[in-house]
Amino acid sequence: MAKITRKTAVRKSSVPKKKAKAKAAKPARAAKTSLKAIKPKTVKPKTIKPWTPAEIHEVFSRFRKANPAPKGELEHLNPFTLLVAVVLSAQATDAGVNKATRELFQVADTPQKMLDLGEERLRDYIKTIGLYRTKAKNVIALSAKLLTDFGGEVPRTRAEIESLPGAGRKTANVVLNMAFGAHTMAVDTHVFRVGNRTGLAPGKTPLEVELGLEKVIPAEFMLHAHHWLILHGRYTCLSRKPRCEVCLINDLCRWPEKTV
């Protein structure tokens, strides 16, 4: 009879343990495989059917009929006060800006008067507006730049307006359109939402939506187009609960979740 040493005993006792581990591992692998098998496949959304030129013309014809001469809701007296109001409206409501600027524009409606007012006193007028300290600094700085670089007048090109402190592309588009009648498309949160939700001009960025809308909207509607879209987004095509039941373009809208 063979003598069983301690090492032999250890080797023999270790074999069952390895087999046990292997057997235990098999069900785990099988379970993992089964989870993969039942995982649902990602279904790609259906491509939205592009708008036809006739449909786009119909949309803006309806907007025009309902509101022939839409106006921006920011109160202003001249191109300069419009520029200031738009700069102040960043991350703020038009109503809130109007409340602050009604008194402000009575005492400072030109770049020189704004400089004479000074940053500290300007802050007192606009302190109810978000980010008022930064905005006051920008308004004083852009007033100074208008005087030194543009003879105290609001420039008429996008690049020049964008060179002013606190003014970006949207600000430039609003001023060019409202003050000088340019066919620009200012894309705020409302226009961005409407462009994407309706399928008129889908885009991941405001610039993509802007260029998309300019491409498809007929020239005859471009003067007022951004106002119609802003108002539509602000009062009808709401972010959380769109009022599809009263929407002028419900039958043409491509949004798959329309309520009616």
Say which residues have a Cβ less than 8 Å from residue 215's Cβ, sequence separation at least 6. 201
Q: What is the mean pLDDT of the chain?
A: 86
Which among 99, 188, 204, 241 is annotated as catalytic? 188
Q: What is the pLDDT, as a whole number, of residue 49?
A: 83
In this structure, the answer to whether residues 134 and 196 fall within a common structural domain is no
In this structure, the answer to whether residues 174 and 83 fall within a common structural domain is yes
Q: What is the pLDDT, as a whole number, of residue 136?
A: 97
Q: Does the annotation mark 188 as catalytic?
A: yes
CATH assignment at residue 106: 1.10.340.30
Share of the chain above pLDDT 90, in %: 77
> Which carries the bigger pLDDT value, residue 48 or residue 214?
214
- Among 53, 92, 58, 46, which residue's Cα sits nearest to residue 73? 92
Average pLDDT over residues 21-48: 43
Which of 127, 146, 180 is the last residue in one of the domains?
180
Residue 1 lies in a domain: no
CATH assignment at residue 194: 1.10.1670.10
Which of 148, 163, 180 is the last residue in one of the domains?
180
In this structure, the answer to whether residues 142 and 211 fall within a common structural domain is no
User: Among all chains, which residue has been given the structure tokens 């009648």?
Assistant: 181
Distance CA(58)–CA(60), nearest Å, equals 6
Distance CA(125)–CA(103), nearest Å, equals 7
For 84-116, write each residue's pLDDT tens digit: 999 999 989 999 999 999 999 999 999 999 999
Q: Which structural domain range is residue 146 located in?
A: 79-180
Q: CA dihedral in degrees (93, 140, 207, 254; nearest 10)?
A: 10
In this structure, the answer to whether residues 92 and 221 fall within a common structural domain is no
Which among 12, 170, 241, 258 is annotated as catalytic? 170
Residue type, 23: K
The domain total for the chain is 2
Average pLDDT over residues 52-69: 97
Q: Does the annotation mark 170 as catalytic?
A: yes
Distance CA(156)–CA(56), nearest Å, equals 29
Under the banding of pLDDT at 50, 70 and 90, the label for residue 46 is: low
Average pLDDT over residues 48-76: 94
Q: What is the pLDDT, as a whole number, of residue 205?
A: 97
Q: 3-class DSSP state for residue 225?
A: helix
Angle formed by the axes of helices 206-216 and 169-180, to 10°?
30
